[in-house]
Structures are given as structure tokens and as C-alpha cells.
Amino acid sequence: MRKRDPGSWSPYLAGALSGLLLVLSVWIAGKYFGASTSFVRTAGLIEQTVAPDHVAGLSYFMKYFQKNPGIDWQWMFVLGIFLGSFFSANASGSFLWTPVPDSWRERFGPGAGKRGVTAFLGGAVALFGARLAGGCPSGHGLSGLAQMAASGYLALIMFFVGGLVVARLLYKGR
């Protein structure tokens, strides 16, 4: 299944370097990796512009905004992922303006609408689940397992159980 892809790095090497980066981040900044809380922050900041009183009354938003009412380390971290990927993709010529992923196109056709609706619904369910679980593959997966947290192991296993079942349903017999 694997195709040659010039310019790509071994996942073992890039993974080990990412692990080292996490260690340095914990040491220097005292910060473990995480991404899904930034979605809570952005959602709260957007909602604040239309219904500030409602946001102020929600204990979940206030849990984060009381610590920091604006953007924080993690928000900048997630912005950095976008910028780092953008620089890297452009520097190596692997930037490609793609409306629909290859394997999706083979299975469901080139329609960007169908892909967009599925991605939107998937994103909503995924983030709701991540916040209920207390984290995503960064917070629970990387940071949790690196600390041998029982919660991280349980969450990561459940991420894969849910994902394997739905992927099987989507790509039946392929």
C-alpha cells in the first residue's frame, strides 16, 4: 500500500524528534501538548461576540477564560502547527491545493459538497467527544501516554475502536 514519497521522513525519526520536542516543551515552558482545548477557546471567543452574557454563564467556558480570557500557549501552538506545515510543504514543493482527499475521491467521487458536509459533521462529533474524554490524540495520546496516564491509554484505545468501526463501514469491502 505504501508508495514512495520523495522528501518524506521516516515516521520513526520524525516521531522520535517530536517526542524530544515534547520533553523540551515540558522542561522549558512547563507545557504538555494538546490541541482540542484551543477549539473551546475559539468557540467561546466567537460566541462572546454575539452573546457575551450567555458565555459568561457557562461554567465550561469560564473554567478556561478565568485562567486566561484571550489566547494562550496552546492556541499559539495550534497556530504554529498550521504555519510549520505551511512552510515545510512549500519549502519541499509538497503543497497541493486539494479539495477532496485521494482515497475519499476513489470511494465517494470528487464532489466537494459531500466531503464538506461529512467533514463538518465529523469535526463536530470529534470535538464534542474529545472534550468529553478530556483530550484528543495530542493531549490524551501523546502527552497522556508519555506520562503513562491510565486515562490516556483508555482514551486512545477508544479513539481507535470508534474509528476502526466507522472506517470499516465507510470503506466496506475495500
Partner 1 sequence: MQLILGLTTGIIFGVLLQKARVIRYDKQLGALRLKDMTIVKFMLSAILTAMIGIYLLRDLGLVELSVKSLSLGGQIVGGLLFGIGWALLGYCPGTSWGAVGEGRYDALWGIAGGWLGAALYAESYPFMQSTVLAWGDYGKITLPQLFGLHHWVMAALVAVAFLALFRFLEKKGL
Contacts (CB under 8 A) with partner 1, residues 83-142: 83-89, 92, 94-104, 112, 115-142
Judged by CB under 8 A, the chain residues 35 through 64 that form the site for partner 1 are 35-36, 38-40, 42-44, 46-47, 58-61
Interface pick for partner 1 out of 6, 29, 49, 173 (rule CB under 8 A):
29
Pick one of 80, 109, 110, 111: the residue that binds partner 1 (CB under 8 A): 80
What's the Cα-to-Cα distance from 123 to each of 28, 36, 103, 113, rounded to whole Å?
A: 32, 11, 19, 15
Residue that has been written with the C-alpha cell 500557549 in this structure: 73
Q: What cell does 139 get?
A: 493531549
Inter-CA distances, 46 with 37, 40, 84, 104, 151, Å: 14, 10, 25, 31, 30
Rg (C-alpha) for the chain, rounded Å, is: 19
Instruction: Report how far residue 59's alpha carbon sits from residue 79's, in angstroms, rounded to the nearest whole number.
Output: 26
Minimum distance of partner 1 from residue 66's CB (angstroms):
14
Check: CB of residue 32 under 8 Å from CB of residue 22: yes
Among 52, 69, 79, 111, binds partner 1 (CB under 8 A): 79
Interaction of residue 28 with partner 1, rule CB under 8 A:
yes
Least Å from the CB of residue 125 to partner 1:
3
CB of 105 to partner 1, least distance (A): 10
Query: Is the CB of 53 or the CB of 97 nearer to partner 1?
Result: 97
Specify the residue, 12 or 53, whose C-beta has the smaller distance to partner 1: 12
- How far is residue 108's CA from residue 88's CA, in Å, rounded to a whole number? 30
Q: Can residue 65 be called a binding residue for partner 1 (CB under 8 A)?
A: no
Considering the complex, state which of residue 69 and residue 166 has its C-beta at the smaller distance from partner 1.
Answer: 166
Q: Could you tell me which residues come within 8 angstroms of residue 174 by beta carbon, excluding any fewer than 6 positions away?
A: 107
Size of interface with partner 1, in residues (CB under 8 A): 133
CB–CB of 34/121 below 8 Å? no
CB of 112 to partner 1, least distance (A): 7
